[in-house]
Amino acid sequence: MASMRFSKSLAVLFLISTLLLSSCGQTQQTPLTPTLTASPHAKVYDGNQWSLSTPAEQKVEEKLLKEMEKRIDENYPNINATLLIRHGRIVYEKYYNGNTADTFNPVYSVTKSVTSALVGIALREGFLKSLDQTVLEFLPEYAEEGLDPLKKEITLWNALTMTGGLKTVDTDYYSWFSKEDWFKYVLDRPMSSKPGEEFEYNTGLTHLLSGVLTKATSMSTKDFADKYLFKALDINDYNWDTDPKGFYGGGHLLSLTPRDMAKFGFLYLHGGKWGEKQVVPADWVRESVTKKVSAGSSDYGYLWWISTCDDAANKRTLETFFASGYGGQYIMVVPDLDLIFVITADADRRAKDGSDTAALLKDYIVPASK
């Protein structure tokens, strides 16, 4: 599986890459309530084509975009694509390392934010009743005799907020991937805290959510996504790998093109609405990008990261929410600027100075957007 390639230092680098955007300002102290009303340019996507615009037409300073290009050339050999949507139009798009607009890129933990959307849809459709339902209610075959009672208390809310209490699998990916039953490996991990007490980033929890969706809907996570999410967004070509038992990765293993990543960001910028269709419930989107727990330098909602971005040049601090994947994959949304910034990268390479690709948002994209 191409999306399962990891460098030897994956464990440490994964955790660093997911606890980022400290470079984009201090974490907000109040829940994020972004502007989710449709922009005046809402009808900007027709069929398989985004509308295009010049940066100047959408009040983006081209000089700073050129400076960003130079910075990428000098320091970011890992970057595969950068894509900026402003007021619903592509104003900047550039590909590197032989990639094109049609190249699928493993998005790693960006998959988690997609899984979050699917949980919200499953609640609306009645496949799930409440976030208070436990994971093992849907996977009863793992509730074996002698199981730590705390594991039976892990709820969907805990999985969505990384507060399940299970020791993370993210420091031992190789052991996890070598197992025939990934669910069992996750649930066999010791408890490091009681469910709901502490944030501990754990891709295993989101893989359990894929199992929950599969059991609750009687269809695979991919088939459910195709029917209720991807079809509405005209996302037809992508890759999604499975575990050895055939369950699609709930926390990783999805590969998308940058333009399709931007569609997902656009959907959340507009409160879950695509054109005239409410694809993801608006209240679910709002809750997903509102702080539920503190997570290091950022906050965390329902499998979305939340932070603020200090723009010293324009003397402002802006709220942001973003989907983040190992190795520098991002869908970053800045509601007050009506923009989405997408980055894909080669997860096996690093910036020359070790900086994260997300720094481009603070250093160039936000200051350039007037």
Contact of 105 with 256, CB cutoff 8 Å = yes
Close Cβ partners of 210 (under 8 Å, ≥ 6 residues apart):
115, 221, 247, 248, 249, 250, 251
pTM reported for the whole predicted model: 0.90
Q: Are 160 and 209 in contact (CB under 8 A)?
A: yes
Residue-wise pLDDT for 14-23, tens only, equals 444 444 444 5
Structural domains in the chain, CATH included, are 2-368 (3.40.710.10)
**What is the three-state SS of 82-130?**
EEEEECCEEEEEEECCCCCCCCCEECCCHHHHHHHHHHHHHHHCCCCCC
Cite the beta strand spans of the chain per DSSP E: 45-46, 49-50, 79-86, 89-95, 105-106, 239-240, 254-256, 273-274, 277-278, 293-295, 298-300, 305-311, 316-325, 329-334, 339-345
Q: What is the pLDDT of residue 3?
A: 36
| 294-308 mean pLDDT | 95
Q: Which tens digits make up the pLDDT trace of 166-195? A: 999 999 888 999 999 999 999 999 999 999
pLDDT for the residue 332: 98
Q: Grade residue 109 by pLDDT with cuts at 50, 70 and 90.
A: very high
CA nearest to 200, candidates 15, 12, 7, 8: 15
d(CA 230, CA 6) in angstroms, rounded, equals 27
End-to-end CA distance of the chain: 42
From residue 235, alpha-carbon distances to 160, 258, 265 in Å are 24, 11, 13
CB 172 within 8 A of CB 203: no
Greatest mean pLDDT among 2-11, 43-52, 118-127: 118-127
